[in-house]
A and B are shown apart, each in its own frame.
Chain A
Amino acid sequence: MTKVKSLADLRKMKEELANKVQLREKSDSPEKLVQVKVSMATCGIASGAKEIMNHMIDEMDRQAIEALVTQTGCMGFCHAEPTIEVTLPNNEPVVFGHVDSKKADEIITKYIIRGELVDGIIPVNYETVKENKND
């Protein structure tokens, strides 16, 4: 029988992570890492936001992209769910709509890795983003 993972294994993994010099330097200033926010209110969840978040986490783990992935509320783009907000270091946040796993891959390879813009961006005025942040 294989051993079931426990928090002790997490400690081991943490040691490995902490040894990565690059990460150690960056984790003091999270704004230097890519930040991904997945809209996870009723509208997002019902359209499959969880699968997208799962997919992004798996892919970025596999490709060793150091990003911080979090959940956020309804941004008011219920018609375009699932939506994700991607903030590259030193860039304004960009919101992508109708994200499926294919689109998610495109966002990772083109926007996150190479910084090229991808179709499907929702133009956001400053107020809307602001409201979402207070949400």
Chain B
Amino acid sequence: MRDLSMHITDIIQNSVRAKAKLVQLTIEEDGDKLKMTFTDDGTGMDAETVQRVSDPFYTSRTTRKVGMGIPLFKQNAELTDGSLDIESELGEGTVVQVELGLNHIDRPPMGDLSSTVAMLITGNPEVEMIFCYKKDADEFKLDSREVKEILDGVDVRLPKVTNFLKEMIEENLKELKIESD
């Protein structure tokens, strides 16, 4: 994984697979820390499974035998003196909290956050998403339900919609002087 945006896609795809109806991603720059919180209302996991997901040789998939997503993100977080914690309850959903050293030399770059978020929203039309970026007193928030309400029946999966959202997110993040390349 070359950047944090890739990890973000990966973790949210876990929520999508867990049949979540609503996924919330909050990214916050807090002092010297970069915090990411992923909250979903998917199937959740029992305590034993939560223990095992950090093991690269554990996966619930049947298509392959390894599950690298969480172990790789955890490793990247820990390399920057940060952490990755999971709280989950069967039938309730899952919260993944990741903390990275914002200015740590080993922190991977953010990557293309705007297109990542745009493609997560339009690429998974059956799942609603709330994306929020907080920096100091400023924040940018985007709710996929508002997007769909405005689109009023026009398909969210059309390339034009994705490109619009991409530009909109990019411009708003730039306003907040947030790193996104």
Please name all residues of chain B whose beta carbon is closer than 8 Å to the beta carbon of A132 when the two chains form the complex: 63
CB interface residues, A 14-63, toward B, < 8 Å: 14, 17-18, 23, 27, 30, 33, 38, 40-43, 45-46, 50, 53-54, 56-58, 60-61
Given A45-B10, A68-B157, A131-B63, A50-B163 contact (CB < 8 Å):
no
With A78-B64, A135-B61 as contacts: A42 and B5 at CB distance below 8 Å: no
Closest CB-CB distance, A56 to chain B, in whole Å? 8
Give the residues in chain B near A45, CB-CB below 8 Å.
Answer: 1, 6, 9-10, 13
* B124→A43 contact, CB < 8 A: no
Closest chain B residue to A2, Cβ basis: B171
Residue of A nearest to B156 (CB): A68
Interchain CB contact under 8 A, A71 and B119:
yes
Q: A50-B115, A57-B159 are in contact. Are A75 and B154 (CB under 8 A)?
A: no
B57 in the interface, Cβ–Cβ < 8 Å?
no
Q: Say which residue of A33, A40, A43 sits within 8 Å of B64 (CB atoms).
A: A43
Residue B46 is within 8 A (CB to CB) of chain A in the complex: no
Top 3 A-B pairs ranked by shortest CB distance?
Answer: A76-B63, A71-B123, A68-B157
Is B63's CB under 8 angstroms from A69's CB? no
Task: Please report which residues of chain B, range 145-174, place their CB below 8 angstroms from some CB of chain A when the two chains form the complex.
Answer: 146-147, 150-155, 157-165, 167-168, 171-172, 174
Is B68 part of the binding interface, using a Cβ–Cβ cutoff of 8 Å?
yes
Using Cβ atoms and an 8 Å threshold, which residues of chain A touch B1?
45-46
A95 CB-CB contact with B under 8 Å:
no
In contact, A13 and B164 (Cβ under 8 angstroms): yes
Contact residues in B for A40 (Cβ distance below 8 Å): 9, 13, 123
Using A13-B164, A70-B123 as known contacts, say yes or no to A5 and B171 having CB atoms under 8 A apart.
Answer: yes
Interchain CB contact under 8 A, A41 and B159: no
From DSSP, what is the main secondary structure of chain A's interface residues?
helix
Q: Which one, A5, A23, A73, contacts B167 given CB within 8 A?
A: A5
Task: Determine how close the nearest CB of chain B comes to the CB of A109; give it in whole angstroms.
Answer: 16
Q: Judging by beta carbons under 8 Å apart, are B164 and A10 in contact?
A: yes
**A74 interface residue, CB < 8 Å from B?**
yes
Contact call A11/B150, Cβ cutoff below 8 A: yes
User: A7-B168, A69-B123, A74-B61 are known contacts; what are 19 more A-B pairs with Cβ within 8 Å?
Assistant: A4-B175, A6-B168, A7-B146, A9-B168, A10-B150, A18-B153, A23-B158, A27-B153, A33-B155, A45-B10, A50-B115, A57-B163, A58-B159, A66-B158, A69-B122, A70-B124, A70-B157, A78-B63, A131-B63
Q: Sample 30 A-B pairs with CB under 8 A, ordered by A number.
A: A5-B164, A5-B171, A7-B150, A9-B168, A10-B164, A10-B168, A11-B150, A13-B161, A13-B164, A14-B150, A17-B160, A17-B161, A18-B152, A33-B155, A41-B69, A42-B10, A45-B9, A46-B68, A50-B115, A57-B159, A58-B163, A68-B158, A69-B159, A70-B122, A70-B123, A71-B13, A74-B61, A74-B63, A132-B63, A135-B63
